[in-house]
Structure 1
């Protein structure tokens, strides 16, 4: 028997409502910040480096993520401009957030005279962990799901009833693609944490993140029903292919150009 969907509102304070979506995204950011700060101190950076970076990176990334989403849904938002600011209802694109975060980090790194690649490597595990956590915000909002399936299919995945019931949307069950991506990202987090001990060349941890996340996103995106489209193409798949190719090319070129490249564990800035 189908259960009721989970309440999107976590708590109410007078006339104000606090949504689970925002709390979950916020928790992912806080946990990622904690991990990145600890690692940055180990590698010789000032303890406030990532706090200073995130003051700029968080709002810029959220803004870019929303702009990216709105641009590809302009047919709707041009008719409902009042909904553009309603990010608590969902509708932020991770690729837009990454564009904003990378651009902000490039500028920040130059201003502080710190290697962009050093900052990116330190942040990579935090980013993918934050993505794994953030997908549960999509779960609460019953969005970012895949095509229609049966309840028996979901039961065959050995999912608890509270997940299965939340995948019952307007009379049908759907693929929990939020869960597929969350699990893929958690595996990626474990991989990146293990690769820290390998002491790769600087920049390769972040490039590995780009490759890992993009491969998973490409296949999972193919199951989704709410993809942002560019004509007949799913934009996330196009970007995923581009990121994989670009990351591999950059990795190869950097290895050929500098055989004595700085390693991940270097204290050098």
Structure 2
């Protein structure tokens, strides 16, 4: 079998290289925006608020994702400052992007007098979709992979041939951790979309909190399989620590808010 990695460059516009990574991220963002706009209309929120959130949230989220990564790889970037802006060389962290986008959402809600919890409920499934699609950008770049494995193992997963070939990296087959995370989040998204509009199931904010339970669990286990993790200290992965913190915080918030009697149901206006 001839191993041939997919070209990460989709096409050229003059001297400008257009990477599949960017195209895939943009596609995920577009579908996510459409999904969020439809849900906003259903919930009685002007869809222009979603467009404004995307207009500011996406670029600021990308900056946040890059800053987060650079902070935990600071010695390298201090020695190579020119690499800081070269995100096409890899090195953005989802958690950093989520934190930055969350801040943008808080500011928008305060200025527009919108419910933060409702906006988070609207945005969460779209963010999840973006993560599902975005991992295929990592696939095209041959990044976010796991430890060495065997051809027999990959074939036992009944993966398409092009995925198996793309997982031959640096002279060895690798665990397709990008795929594990993408598929696990797809399952979570399907579940959330299937039940979020059922009456008296979710309190306002709990669609978002359900995402904040599901994704950290997935990320914790997938992160443990990856070979490119950021570390706080030897043996302690940043994303695993943050996943545990977010999971505990989400569960505590669900329990605390459920004990209060003034939290409206998510579908009270439908």
TM-score range, shorter chain: over 0.9
2:150 equivalent in structure 1: 150
Which ranges in structure 2 are unaligned for 5 or more consecutive residues?
Answer: none
Q: Is the 8 A contact 2:132 2:182 kept in 1?
A: yes
1:231 equivalent in structure 2: 233
* Cα displacement (A) at 1:255: 1.3
2:8 equivalent in structure 1: 8
| Deviation digits for residues 198-245 of structure 1 (CA, Å, limit 9, x no counterpart) | 241000110000100000110111100000100021000000000000
Q: Is the 8 A contact 1:195 1:205 kept in 2?
A: no
Q: Is the 8 A contact 2:197 2:266 kept in 1?
A: no
Equivalences, count: 267
Q: Say what the alpha-carbon RMSD is for the aligned residues.
A: 1.2
* Cα displacement (A) at 1:2: 4.0
2:206 equivalent in structure 1: 204
188-197 vs 61-70, which moves further: 188-197
73-82 vs 217-226, which moves further: 73-82
- Normalising by structure 2, we get a TM-score of 0.96
* Cα displacement (A) at 1:90: 2.1
1:55-134 superposed matches below 5 A: 55-134=55-134
CA distance in 1, matches of 2:100, 2:39: 22
Q: Is the 8 A contact 1:214 1:244 kept in 2?
A: yes
CA distance in 2, matches of 1:135, 1:112: 33
| Deviation digits for residues 155-205 of structure 1 (CA, Å, limit 9, x no counterpart) | 011111110110001210000000000001101110110221224100011
1:252 equivalent in structure 2: 255
* Cα displacement (A) at 1:87: 1.1
1:15-26 superposed matches below 5 A: 15-26=15-26
2:184 equivalent in structure 1: 184
* 3-state SS of paired residue (2:79): coil
* Cα displacement (A) at 1:260: 3.9
Which ranges in structure 1 are unaligned for 5 or more consecutive residues?
Answer: none
* 3-state SS of paired residue (1:78): helix
Residue 240 (1) aligns with residue 243 (2):
yes
CA distance in 1, matches of 2:167, 2:46: 45
- Normalising by structure 1, we get a TM-score of 0.97
1:215 equivalent in structure 2: 217
